[in-house]
Amino acid sequence: MRAKVAEHATLFYQDGAVVWDDYLHHRRFAISETAELLCRKFAEFTDVDELLAPLAEDDRAALRKVVDELVEAGVLVVEGSPRHERERRLLAGWRDWGQAARHFHFASRTLVDAPFQDADEHDAALDAKLAVRPAPAPFRSLGGTAVLLPPPSEEPAWGDRGLREVLLARRTTREFGPGRMSVTRVGDLLAVLAGPSPARSRIGRSGTVFKTSPSGGGRHPVELYAHARGVDGLAPGWYHYDGLTHALEPLGVAWEPAEMARAAGDQEWVGRAPLVLAYTGVLERTSWRYDTARAYRVVQMDVGHLSQTAYLVATAMGFGIGFTAALRDELLEQALRCDAYHEVVLGMSALGPLPE
């Protein structure tokens, strides 16, 4: 029999134990020191009998028992077995993206026996949680001096364009014209993207809020930051948008085009944009309500919904816009003062006048 360590799992240390995390089947269990050391001998397919042959009979029998237990537990995969075939298919589809990507996907994948609460059960669980742990605020203010934006236009002219026309006109723009953008238009854009919906502006007691883009559970974890370089009425630099007060809070950091391009994976077109929006995800807003790994997928979906709204509104306004996720996260975390363990960088949109 030839066997190797399964490649659909990881090992980590927790509370003094070595834990086998089989993310493909959602199983976790501690393994012994002997088992962990033995696994090192099976980094690739190895003949079990040949490996154990040099040992004394008692040692050989003891280790063979451990090997059989590891095979039974799925820690070791036997060459040519059904488990080997399933793993081969898994690696064929996911090997190029590496261990981390497939770990994320399959750890947050729901299995056939995944439990789900009905609406009444979920509401009861939230009520119990509210009694001991307040919900995080759905809007953030950094405090200090802020730039109050002009009140959002109630019936803006750009809103007269039909939905079908805007959808067909939507394009990713990587070249921008020489003009500047007005602070009024920028304020309108930010209000539509990240402010509370004028039609349903009430904030729920658990922190749910309605905005123009959908969000899992109404949590809206995405925070919006803006870098102005060619906006009339705004000094160059990074700002945090406070959607509740409709104000921009200066962060005291202004990037030159080259710095913006470097943060955007060396994409010079992003550095040339008069306005760049950065999206981050405040994980606690979503994790407070949903305590399963799958909820992290929802945060990623939320920025997709929001960036599409940005595309459509910018198009209706007559601006060019392009989204990118090819970022050097750490540079943005430093500029935006993000705690990377609690607020994660998700993407950026670059906006500006259409080229002539």
With tokens 């793993």, the residue in question is: 87
Per the listing, tokens 């001991």 go with 132
Q: Do 236 and 340 belong to one domain?
A: yes
Nearest to 218 by CA among 143, 126, 82, 313: 126
- CA count, 13 A, side-chain hemisphere, 190: 32
233 belongs to a structural domain: yes
**How many whole angstroms separate alpha carbon 203 and alpha carbon 134?**
14
pLDDT confidence of residue 200: 87
Residue 356 has pLDDT above 90, yes or no: no
Q: E strand or H helix at 3, and its extent?
A: strand 2-5
What are the tokens at 152?
């959002």
234 has pLDDT over 90: yes
Q: Give Cα separations from 104 to 10, 211, 216 (angstroms).
A: 12, 28, 19
Place of tokens 């969000």: 215
**CA contacts within 13 A on the Cβ side of 298:** 21
**Can you tell me the mean pLDDT for 163-176?**
96
φ, ψ for residue 168 (rounded to 5)?
-75, -25
The two tokens of residue 190 are: 């930010």
3-state secondary structure of 353: strand
Q: Environment class of residue 108 by beta-carbon count within 10 Å: exposed (0-12), middle (13-18) or buried (19+)?
A: middle
As a whole number, the mean pLDDT across the chain is 95
- Quote the tokens at residue 223: 């925070």
pLDDT (0 to 100) of residue 312? 98
Give the count of beta carbons closer than 10 Å to the beta carbon of residue 49.
Answer: 10
pLDDT digits (tens, 9 = 90+) for 179-202: 999 999 999 999 999 999 988 888
281 and 171 inside one domain:
yes
The residue range of the domain holding 163 is 138-353
What is the C-alpha end-to-end distance of the chain, expressed in Å? 70
Do residues 203 and 332 both lie within one domain?
Answer: yes
In this predicted model, what pLDDT tens digit does every residue of 39-85 receive, in sequence order? 999 999 999 999 999 999 999 999 999 999 999 999 999 999 999 99
**pLDDT at 314 exceeding the cut of 90:** yes
Same domain, 305 and 211: yes
How many Å apart are CA 270 and CA 259, to the nearest integer? 10
Q: For residue 199, what pLDDT is reported?
A: 87
| Structural domain count of the chain | 2
Average pLDDT (15-38) is 94
Residue with the bigger pLDDT between 255 and 123: it is 255
Beta strands in 15-142 (DSSP E): 17-22, 27-31, 46-47, 76-78
Domain assignment of residue 273, yes or no: yes
Specify whether 98 is located in the same domain as 193. Answer: no
Whether 117 maps to a domain, the answer reads no
Could you tell me if 180 and 283 are in contact, meaning their C-beta atoms sit under 8 angstroms apart? no
Length of the chain: 356
Of 115 and 310, which is predicted with more confidence?
310
26 with 78, same domain: the answer is yes
Per the domain annotation, does 95 fall within a domain? yes
State the CATH number of the domain containing residue 224. 3.40.109.10
- Indicate whether 319 belongs to any domain: yes
- How far, in Å, CA of 284 to CA of 138, rounded? 10
Instruction: Tell me the CATH number at 39.
Output: 3.90.930
User: In sequence order, which ranges of 243-328 are alpha helices (DSSP H)?
Assistant: 257-263, 268-271, 283-289, 295-317
Q: Residue 154 pLDDT > 90, yes or no?
A: no
